[in-house]
Amino acid sequence: MRHAQPGSRRKHQVQEGINKMYAVIVTGGKQFKVSAGDVLEVEKLEGEVGSVVEFPAIMTVDGETVAVGSDVTAKVRGEIVKQGKSKKVVVFKYKAKKNERVKNGHRQAFTKVKITEIA
């Protein structure tokens, strides 16, 4: 595999002779491209560490077979690895000549999930 150019998004590539199965899932209003063993951070999900979560797949690729839309029957299962908050983002609002300054902070909650299987 070759490395992506700076500034471009990483793309999954199917190597010759290897049937790598992956799926596209939707959670938290975002789409993620996942395969078994991937660990990803998604928007906060309800559940304890170690519990199993299930995501609906909107697209699956298994070697040469591609399923999209209503043809997809696969479910993606994952295990919650961690619940946490991301680094603080400082929000500073300033109006010139008005003596108006507001400083706020925000820490977005996330859930780290390890994909266990695509079935």
Query: How do the domains of the chain map onto residue ranges?
Result: 21-118
Q: Residue 14's pLDDT is what?
A: 46
Averages of pLDDT over each 10 residues, the chain, 119 residues: 48 53 94 94 96 95 88 92 97 97 97 95
8 in Cβ contact with 88 (< 8 Å): no
Asked whether the beta carbons of 49 and 82 are under 8 A apart, the reply is yes
pLDDT of res. 11 = 47
pLDDT of residue 19: 57
Q: Which residues contact 10 (CB under 8 A, 6 or more apart)?
A: 4
CB 117 within 8 A of CB 49: no
Distance, in Å, from the CA atom of 61 to the CA atom of 32, rounded to the nearest integer, reads 14
Distances in Å between the Cα of 58 and the Cα atoms of 9, 44, 55, 83, 118 are 20, 20, 10, 25, 12
